[in-house]
Structure 1
Amino acid sequence: MTNIFDEMRAALYSIWHRRWMALGIAWGLSLLGWLVVAMIPNSYESRARIYVQLDDMLAQQIGIGQGDRKQGVDRVRQTLTSAVNLEKVIRSTPIGADITTPKQMESAVLGLAKQIKVESSQENLFIITANYGNGSKSDAENAKVAQLIVQKMIDIFREENLAGNRGEMSTSLEFMDAQLAQRQKELAAAEQKRLQFEAQNPSLAGGAGAGLQKLEAARAELRGIDADLAAAQSALAAINGQLAGTPKTIAGVAGPVGGARGAYNQAQAELNGHRARGLTENHPDVIAARNQVNALRSAAAAEGGGGVSGVSNPAYTSLESIRGERQANVQALGARRAAAQQEISTLTAQQFSNPASAAEYQQITRDYGVLKEQYDKLLQNREQLRIRGSIETEHNAVRFQVIDPPTSPRSPVSPNRPVLLFGVLVMGLGAGVSGAFAVGQLRSTFSMASRLEKAIGLPVLGTISQTVTDSARELRKKRMKLFYAASSALGALFVILLTLEFVQRGMVA
């Protein structure tokens, strides 16, 4: 521990012995460093925040989703710092006042690209930041230019979305119109060709596909007629069976209608009428009529007298009327069946009479259908594009709102001049102390007896202190005063530079 303490004392003595050298080095490096710091221009930063509204109900109704609008905004944000846009910024701000050649413009664009940032802090929030510093301009001018750069970037951000969308939409509509005109010509030519072929081949009108559809429809109709005809024939057979089991007349008694015989005849006619209507034997009306007939039968037989004559059966007359109606229905269905068979024969003959013409007409019809489908789809797309363009441009689906306008910087963001000034001072003092120590190490002198003993390996019996005269002591005091004054002047100069820096910042505000 004693050795370390002795080494520190020796080092301090060596530095103090060469204090003027250390002070001179500190002065020289400090002045040089402060000059370099003074030559660094102040850079001022201006920033603005923009909110982009992407939610719009009308735009969503026509298919402009939030993702589509966000993608368009991101595209503009990514291309905002392109060379073309930066050149617009340079020409519209004082930066381009001294630019006369393309090479100077290229250099200015590259430099400005490094000083502008467009960041997205949230999904719909964008931050535009610009730094600017030019040594040939004052701090107030640099701060104003930084603000102008951000304002111009906001204008470009808005114009690229609005004007860019309009230009893109106009180009797209022109392309769609050109395609529609071309498809319309092709469709008109195909339709004219189809009409000419149908005029020359009227039997093939509608195409082979239409003929097959007609044939299939005729066959389906024939199957329906056959089913109806079978049902009608079955109904006719049933009525013929009922008619065969029903008598034409009902036995009766001659003479005046009355007494038990007349009542019996009336009850029998009533019973036959119920059966003719299709009522079963278990029906209440049939049972009642049958009981009445049975009750009157014995009384009519006992009455006797008078000639017996036949009475027309009303049930038989009704059944004959029904049979005539059903016979007419069967005849009508038969005629329809014959007509359907004739139509099927005609259509089948047409299908195989001229297969080449049918194939050609089918090709013409298919080509026309394809062109018609393409034209309709293109027309629909064009209308959707027109509506979409109107909403994006006139309705302005993407809306901008400047939340924070470009700030007017009050203090430079770089360089941090107070820290640099202090750092230069510390560096100068450190360099002076290091230089004095290094020179002391190079000189073959001994500041302490212990170091001399180590160097020669012999014991040192004693040391003789330096004796100075009064005049020498006065001279040493004057030199110490000068040293303190020079050291204080270095510190005062540092304070003055700091004061000037803060005053200069206050002038910008």
Structure 2
Amino acid sequence: MEAIYTEIRIALYAIWRMRWLALAVAWGFCLVGWVMVMRVPASYESSARIQVQVKSLFADGAESDMQKNVDRVRQSLTSTEVLKRVVRTVSNGERPLTSYESLSLIGALRGGISITAQGEDLLEIKTRISLKSISEQQTAFIARNVTQKLIEIFIQENVIGSRTNNAEALQFLDQELARRAKELADVDRRRAQIAQDTLGSLPGSGTLEQRMDSARNEMMNLESGLMQARSSLAAMNGQIAATPAQIPAGTVGGVDTLDQRISQLEGQLSEAISRGWTEKHPDVIAIRAQLRQLRAEKARGGTRDVPMAPNPVYVSLKSMQAEREGNVAALQARKDQLDRAVTMIAQRQLSAPAAQIDQARLDRDYDVLRDQYNKLLAQREGAKLRSDATGKTDGVQFRVIDQPAVPRQPAAPNRTMLLTAVLIAGAVVGAGVAFAKSQLANVYTTTQQLAKASGLPVLGSISEVITAETRAIRRKQMMWFSSAAAGLPGMFMLLMLIEFVKRIMVS
């Protein structure tokens, strides 16, 4: 600890020996620093807060559109045109700005305007201006005026700009709808022409492939129905063959006549043959045996004439036969018609492949254009409704929460802190330079330093003898040094006083 205390004393004594150098360096550093600080133009800042309340008759989309308009105007406030409008109407409190001052103000405003959102419905407009050719009092007044003008432009652009944008949007949508409608009509006309050339005389609807598939499916169903109708007609023919057209008006001894029995057996034989039974079938053999027996009995005279009457069963079967024959004829005619249609479609498929490709392409184009047209139509109707609502109601309401005021003190720089920092830095730099200079000189403050530097033992030291004349000279030098050293804080206090007076003048 004693060694550290000794080193500190040695360093302080070394600085004291070079005190005039330290004082000169401190004065030079402080003068340069203070001049630079005082030459920095003061920046004055004025701010205001606006409450933006977005109202709409339509909850789905209109509010977001209004918010987009507010954001758009917020970004456009820093454009060159808006800044020119602001500068043309701003004065410095005494007179309009000159052309040079206006150009300087535009350059300062490019990076000095900030608009930030505070919450969902609050916007803060802040203007910071720093001008060299204008006094600080005028700069503060200009900052307030610029902020006030920006608020007016912001509200005006939102009220008028939103209506202008709605009108432009409606005009654009109408133009796009007209163009898309014309394109749809052209595509539809070409589709109709191709359909007339390739599909005009063909049955069905859709493309050639769709019509071919439909015709083939109908042909399959028709063939199955035709087979069933023919089978049903064959069965009906068998029943008619087995049913006599006339029946006796009565019976002899309660027993049927031989002719009636023979007719019944012949009908059964015809029905069996229609079912596909062969001559070797047991039933067919039995029926033929009975027929031979009855015919032999009839040849021997086993019958007698009896009165005959129409058979109602036969009449009913004949009407059903006619109905089934008509059904078979209709199905056969439809089948012949489908055969001709399939043949025609197949010929068209072979002769017009390019037309099919054009037809498919036009169908795709038509679907795309129709979807786009429907979307544009919906957008146009929505924009029209929002435009009507905007013209009849206040979509956005503005209320200035905090009015812009003339700033009473500069936002930057903090000259009080900078002047103090320059004073402290000057003292430190001066002391450092003096200490460095003392270390370069071959002067030793204590006998220990001399012994350490020479490597030889030091036997003793002789104190300095100060005479009265020397003491008077040193006292005079000390007075001069004290006066020069006291000038530094005096100059600092003078600069602080000037800064204080400037703030009073601005306020």
TM-score (norm 2): 0.59
- CA separation in 1, counterparts of 2:505 and 2:174? 56
Q: Residues 225 and 123 of structure 1: is their aligned pair in 2 closer, same or farther, counting only changes over 3 Å?
A: farther
Q: Is the CA contact 1:46–1:406 (under 8 Å) kept in the aligned structure 2? A: no
Which residue of structure 2 lines up, in the alignment, with residue 420 of structure 1? Answer: 418
Q: Is the CA contact 2:233–2:325 (under 8 Å) kept in the aligned structure 1? A: no
Q: Is the CA contact 1:130–1:150 (under 8 Å) kept in the aligned structure 2? A: no
Please state if 1:137 is matched with 2:134.
yes
- CA separation in 2, counterparts of 1:321 and 1:11? 149
Q: Residues 399 and 91 of structure 1: is their aligned pair in 2 closer, same or farther, counting only changes over 3 Å?
A: closer
Stretch of structure 1 that moved more, 449-458 or 38-47: 449-458
- CA separation in 2, counterparts of 1:4 and 1:208? 106
After superposition, where does 1:296-445 map in structure 2 within 5 Å? 323=317, 326-348=320-342, 350-351=344-345, 369=363, 372-387=366-381, 389-390=383-384, 408=405, 409-437=407-435
Q: Is the CA contact 1:120–1:126 (under 8 Å) kept in the aligned structure 2? A: yes
Q: Deviations over 1:371-413 (max 9, x none)?
A: 64454334224313424544676667x9797897686555433
- CA separation in 2, counterparts of 1:219 and 1:47? 85
- CA separation in 1, counterparts of 2:498 and 2:409? 14
Query: What's the % identity of the aligned pairs?
Result: 23
- CA separation in 2, counterparts of 1:154 and 1:220? 81
Q: Deviations over 1:178-225 (max 9, x none)?
A: 743652563475267458758xx9635878738647744763673475
Which residue of structure 1 lines up, in the alignment, with residue 459 of structure 2? Answer: 459
Q: Residues 252 and 502 of structure 1: is their aligned pair in 2 closer, same or farther, counting only changes over 3 Å?
A: farther
Where do 5+ consecutive residues of structure 1 fail to align?
A: 254-309
Q: Is the CA contact 2:47–2:125 (under 8 Å) kept in the aligned structure 1? A: yes
Measured after TM superposition, the shift of residue 23 of structure 1 is 4.2
TM-score (norm 1): 0.59
Stretch of structure 1 that moved more, 339-348 or 141-150: 141-150
Which residue of structure 1 lines up, in the alignment, with residue 44 of structure 2? Answer: 44
Q: Is the CA contact 2:45–2:140 (under 8 Å) kept in the aligned structure 1? A: yes
- CA separation in 1, counterparts of 2:200 and 2:349? 14
- CA separation in 1, counterparts of 2:467 and 2:220? 144
After superposition, where does 1:196-275 map in structure 2 within 5 Å? 197=197, 203-204=201-202, 209=208, 212=212, 215-216=215-216, 219=219, 222-223=222-223, 225-226=225-226, 229=229, 233=233
What secondary structure sits across from 1:9 in the alignment? helix
- CA separation in 1, counterparts of 2:174 and 2:242? 82
- CA separation in 2, counterparts of 1:144 and 1:227? 105
- CA separation in 1, counterparts of 2:207 and 2:464? 136
Which residue of structure 2 lines up, in the alignment, with residue 291 of structure 1? Answer: none
Q: Residues 226 and 193 of structure 1: is their aligned pair in 2 closer, same or farther, counting only changes over 3 Å?
A: closer
Which residue of structure 2 lines up, in the alignment, with residue 190 of structure 1? Answer: 190
Q: Deviations over 1:49-68 (max 9, x none)?
A: 7899999995758xx997x9
Q: Residues 69 and 448 of structure 1: is their aligned pair in 2 closer, same or farther, counting only changes over 3 Å?
A: same
Where do 5+ consecutive residues of structure 2 fail to align?
A: 254-305
Q: CA RMSD in A?
A: 6.0
Q: Deviations over 1:148-184 (max 9, x none)?
A: 3697499579959958965984685376257436525
Which residue of structure 2 lines up, in the alignment, with residue 176 of structure 1? Answer: 176
**Letter aligned with residue 410 of structure 2:** P
Q: Deviations over 1:421-468 (max 9, x none)?
A: 111111222234345545555666666676677788653364254242
Which residue of structure 2 lines up, in the alignment, with residue 34 of structure 1? Answer: 34
Q: Residues 326 and 51 of structure 1: is their aligned pair in 2 closer, same or farther, counting only changes over 3 Å?
A: farther
- CA separation in 2, counterparts of 1:233 and 1:126? 92
Q: Residues 391 and 155 of structure 1: is their aligned pair in 2 closer, same or farther, counting only changes over 3 Å?
A: farther
After superposition, where does 1:22-101 map in structure 2 within 5 Å? 22-45=22-45, 60=60, 85-86=79-80, 88-89=82-83, 92-93=86-87
Q: Is the CA contact 1:139–1:508 (under 8 Å) kept in the aligned structure 2? A: yes
Which residue of structure 2 lines up, in the alignment, with residue 265 of structure 1? Answer: none
- CA separation in 2, counterparts of 1:365 and 1:453? 113
Q: Residues 483 and 343 of structure 1: is their aligned pair in 2 closer, same or farther, counting only changes over 3 Å?
A: same
**Letter aligned with residue 380 of structure 1:** N
Q: Is the CA contact 1:191–1:368 (under 8 Å) kept in the aligned structure 2? A: yes
